[in-house]
């Protein structure tokens, strides 16, 4: 594994979180960071006051393969041996892929998970239990626990396991609880009234109960995580909870900021979306008992899949109707959250900058901005980015033996891209 590190280094959590790995590459990030180091923190809350961004200089240097000081483009690329042919959706996808079909190979595992979720939340507080029922019963895809089961079964053959371990199943439950807690908090921050067509927890019970319900679920998942008694997985998942908060802070500190760069967007997307998916896939591999190289590739699969998913979601925010989205089109842009399509469009259209920096003060300015994003090639370039991350996810599956589970993991990547094909 060490021999691969110098040219196959992992994505790290923030630019000041990059520390030297001891390999030949040791490029500093000062130039990348200095450009935006004095941007306002939480501009949307405290407009007019300027302060330096929070900076994290972690020194807990782990094994060489974990941290790097390569450029963001290299770090965000993932670990791959030698690139196989890239995905060609037009050629390879002859029919629409559905999640129920993809997850059919782990359907029994998901059914067991659904039965266990409410019981592990606990029934000590009726309000919290009711809040948990509200969101667990809102028709979620269970994408993250499904990935845990797929990776677990795909790697079990390598390790000689005949079935999933109790740790695999508990990990899937913990992952879904953490995801659910993050959704509850996200709905509070976004002031969302609906989630998957149902009223949100804060809409039903108020902001105070919603925040406490999310906190309780984070705490409960942490308790079950500690009882797994695997320090590597505990560190892995605990970092995810920290990443959620970091992602929200990073997003809030760059609202309506037209100078935000693509690597900043990708790092924020990692914090908010890809971190949990990557931890899900790597944690499952660790509990299968596979070697470090295989578990690392499962991490890279989950990371790149998560980034691809986020980019696709951000594209759909411009290309789908309000009915399809369940929220107004361009809602992220309206709130000042500049995603990949906008960042790409800003490179070509100066008028878009003027509209965004005015915070859509004029009637019809949001619709004009959306049309500029579409006409300036922002959607097309974002599609290319989503496909690039999807290709990397597929490539990191090459270490697994052929099986229905590996095939489902590959098809899952294609399913994501089909949403914008």
Are 71 and 83 found together in one domain? no
Contact present, 225 and 174 (Cβ < 8 Å): yes
Residues 143 and 210 in one domain: yes
For residues 59 and 106, state if they share a domain.
no
Same domain, 20 and 120: no
DSSP assignment letter at 330: T
Tokens read off for 133: 């029922």
Question: Do 95 and 180 belong together in one domain?
Answer: yes
Q: Give the per-residue pLDDT at 302.
A: 98
Quick: pLDDT tens for 92-110.
Answer: 444 567 888 889 999 999 9
The residues, ordered by sequence, that sit 6+ positions from 167 with a Cβ below 8 Å of its Cβ are 228, 230, 287
Backbone Cα Rg of the chain = 21
Helix ranges, 320-375 (H): 322-325, 331-334, 340-346, 350-357, 365-375
Boundary-marking domain end, from 75, 106, 127: 75
Answer whether 322's CB lies under 8 Å from 328's CB.
yes
How far apart CA 133 and CA 213 sit, in angstroms, is 11
From 20, 42, 75, give the residue that closes a domain: 75
Same domain, 65 and 110: no
Alpha carbons 284 and 397: distance in angstroms, whole number: 14
Number of domains in the chain: 2
Task: Return the sign of the alpha-carbon dihedral for residues 324, 327, 328, 330.
Answer: negative
137 and 63 together in one domain: no
pLDDT of residue 110: 93
**Does one domain contain both 280 and 169?**
yes
pTM of the entire structure? 0.78
Distance CA 212, CA 131 (A): 10
Q: Is 141 helix (H, G, I), strand (E, B) or coil?
A: coil
Query: What is the b/e burial string over 205-223, where b = at least 16 CB atoms within 10 angstroms of the residue's CB?
Result: beeebbbbbbebbbebbbe
pLDDT at 93: 43
My answer on whether 51 and 137 are in the same domain is no
Low-confidence ranges of the chain (pLDDT < 70): 1-96, 121-125, 132, 134-140, 194-197
Residues 63 and 113 in one domain: no
- 104 and 196 fall within a common domain: yes
* 307 and 178, same domain (yes or no): yes
Q: Residue 258's domain spans which residues?
A: 76-418
For residue 90, the domain's CATH number is 1.10.600.10
- Residue appearing with tokens 């067991």: 112
Short-list 155, 416, 140, CA closest to 305: 416
Domain-ending residue, one of 19, 47, 75: 75
């Amino acid at each position: 594994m060490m021999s691969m590190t110098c040219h196959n280094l992992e994505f790290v959590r923030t630019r000041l979180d990059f520390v030297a790995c001891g390999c030949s590459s040791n490029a500093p990030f000062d130039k990348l960071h200095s450009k935006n180091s004095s941007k306002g923190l939480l501009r949307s809350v405290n407009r007019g006051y300027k302060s330096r961004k929070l900076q994290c200089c972690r020194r807990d240097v782990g094994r060489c393969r974990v941290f790097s000081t390569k450029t963001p483009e290299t770090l965000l690329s993932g670990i791959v041996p030698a690139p196989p042919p890239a995905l060609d959706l037009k050629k390879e996808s002859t029919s629409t892929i559905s999640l129920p079909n993809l997850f059919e190979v782990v359907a029994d595992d998901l059914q067991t998970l659904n039965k266990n979720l409410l019981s592990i939340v606990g029934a000590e507080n009726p309000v919290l239990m009711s809040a948990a029922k509200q969101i667990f019963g809102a028709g979620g895809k269970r994408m993250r626990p499904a990935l845990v089961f797929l990776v677990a079964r795909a790697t079990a053959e390598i390790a000689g396991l005949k079935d999933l371990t109790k740790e695999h199943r508990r990990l899937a439950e913990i992952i879904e609880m953490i995801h659910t807690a993050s959704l509850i908090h996200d709905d509070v921050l976004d002031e969302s009234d609906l989630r998957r067509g149902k009223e949100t927890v804060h809409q039903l019970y108020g902001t105070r109960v919603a925040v406490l319900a999310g906190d309780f679920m984070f705490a409960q998942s942490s308790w079950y995580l500690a009882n797994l008694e695997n320090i590597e997985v505990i560190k892995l998942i605990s970092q995810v909870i920290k990443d959620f908060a970091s992602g929200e802070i990073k997003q809030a500190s760059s609202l309506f900021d037209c100078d935000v760069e693509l690597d900043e967007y990708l790092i924020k997307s990692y914090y908010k979306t890809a971190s949990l998916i990557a931890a899900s896939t790597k944690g499952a591999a660790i509990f299968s008992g596979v070697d470090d190289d295989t578990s690392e590739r499962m991490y890279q699969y989950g990371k790149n899949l998560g980034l691809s998913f986020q980019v696709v979601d951000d594209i759909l925010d411009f290309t789908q109707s309000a009915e399809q989205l369940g929220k107004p089109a361009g809602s992220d842009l309206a709130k000042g959250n500049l995603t990949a399509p906008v960042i790409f469009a800003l490179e070509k259209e100066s008028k878009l900058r003027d509209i965004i920096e005015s915070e859509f003060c004029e009637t019809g300015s949001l619709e004009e901005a959306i049309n500029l994003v579409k006409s300036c090639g922002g959607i097309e370039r974002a599609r290319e980015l989503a496909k690039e991350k999807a290709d990397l996810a597929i490539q990191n599956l090459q270490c697994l033996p052929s099986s229905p589970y590996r095939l489902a993991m590959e098809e899952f990547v294609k399913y994501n891209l089909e949403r914008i094909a």
